[in-house]
Chains A and B, each alone.
Chain A
């Protein structure tokens, strides 16, 4: 299969445009040169490590268990990111592990069980990255919205409780708002497929010489899995967390907004 063989020379050549960005920053006095150079450096280093690791994990001689382990690590890292973004929510780390892990399991059951993709390392790792990456973004949005409801919009919550509502009923409007906010970008991505941008997976496949029609099918299958998984993960985390936001006698658990968790 004719591939795109870049090599280090090709990479160096592509840095020409990075140099252009640095020149723009210099001449326009944006003071972004340092950030651009550091970011490119980090990008090279991180992907080099990942590329090396992937080469090992994806090789035909490596047992599949390593690919599954890599998947597990991705789920844990994604859950820790959610916890970092919404640290005040009780039990958010566990809820994220269940949500991210659960949606991944369901996705794999569908993808492998229904024979959409073969069970190979080179499918497991990238698909995990895409599904969990997207699910994590949605879960973060929902979590922050719940945190906001209990920390900043307490009066609205208490007004519903004061009407004799149950905890779940009182928090449900916030759960809905968070899910809408979180899922809309992914829905937009599916809606704009092909028109606005050519998605990464498809692009990658085409660059590697795969027949575009096949690439399209793969991309579509992935997008549908991603959308479904994001919805599942976010709903799971929201419902688990919402339950823990109230005491047994239906009072909101005290939650303080920390100044430090903005802008991370």
Chain B
């Protein structure tokens, strides 16, 4: 059964419940995705809490991006289920889900044109004020509105992508290694921008292979390896298990 939600404020009630802190934001229940040589995701049990930055860290091929992409249904589990604010993601209308769960990618993927045309691509009927607000949240000045996307630096472009994702007023922002194509300074700027989004009551799920960045950013830290969740914990500097130590994936509540 597919529940058809309208595209506007579709999951508003659920979002509010999630950000109140009572219900988990995402709940992975035995999620598995098969792969060629080995499973891409192997029996994932994970709870993601709302209203904070959760960082998923691990080496290449650990399944971090795959796990992230389950959250906006760019990947689907072969087994198990994923709950978003208590709703089974498989039963939600995909477009409604993606309006509530925004995403930025490894490199800034801006459409040809101006920053404004990109913001309007997300929301055609948006007012000038809404565009300005999104830019401000992404820490870009309103003078960026009429800039052509070719003129932007890497860091500015990625923040423009964040602004574009924010146009839909999502409750969650998924960030798939968003600073991997940026230099150090630009990367720090994007980190700072994303950190400021939490203040607005949003949640962020950030994937990275950079351990130092993970420890800098994470309110909650999840470590993955070989398709499994190795360990998770709150804050920085908490004990994280070494990859490969656990014979089977533990059920982890973070």
Contacts and interface: CB of A to CB of B under 8 A. Distances in A.
Given A163-B121, A164-B7, A251-B74, 5 more contacts: A155-B105, A156-B111, A158-B105, A163-B164, A165-B95
A55 B122 CA distance: 61
A161 interface: yes
B165 A249 contact: no
Interface stretch (B96-104, B127-135, B192-200): B96-104
Contacts of B72: 162
22 contacts: A155-B105, A158-B74, A159-B109, A159-B161, A160-B111, A160-B121, A161-B98, A162-B74, A162-B98, A162-B103, A162-B165, A163-B122, A163-B164, A164-B98, A164-B99, A166-B95, A249-B73, A249-B94, A250-B73, A251-B73, A251-B74, A251-B76
B109 A163 contact: no
Nearest to A247: B76
A163 B76 contact: no
Query: 10 shortest A-B CB distances, which residue pairs?
Result: A159-B109, A162-B103, A164-B98, A164-B99, A250-B94, A164-B95, A249-B94, A163-B122, A155-B109, A156-B109
Contacts of A161: 74, 98
A58 to B, nearest CB: 51
Contact of B105 (A159, A166, A249): A159
B142 interface: no
A162 B75 CA distance: 12
B85 interface: no
Interface string B69-108: 0001111100000000000000000111011001101110
Question: Which of the listed residues A165, A166, A249, A251 has the most CB atoms from chain B within 10 Å of its own CB?
Answer: A249
B233 to A, nearest CB: 29
B168 interface: yes
B9 to A, nearest CB: 13
B165 A163 contact: yes
Interface string A145-174: 000000000011011111111100000010
A164 B168 contact: yes
A160 B105 CA distance: 11
Interface of B: 7, 72-76, 94-96, 98-99, 102-103, 105-107, 109, 111, 121-122, 161, 164-165, 168
A168 to B, nearest CB: 12
Nearest to B109: A159
A211 B45 CA distance: 82
Contacts of A249: 73, 76, 94
Interface in A246-264: 249-251
Contacts of B164: 163
Nearest to B105: A155
Contacts of B74: 158, 161-162, 251
B17 to A, nearest CB: 21
Interface string A3-46: 00000000000000000000000000000000000000000000
A186 B171 CA distance: 49
A154 to B, nearest CB: 10
A163 B73 contact: no
Contacts of A165: 95
B31 to A, nearest CB: 16
A156 B76 CA distance: 20
Contact of A162 (B7, B102, B107, B111): B102
Contacts of B111: 156, 159-160, 173
Nearest to A173: B111
Question: Which of the listed residues A155, A156, A159, A251 has the most CB atoms from chain B within 10 Å of its own CB?
Answer: A159
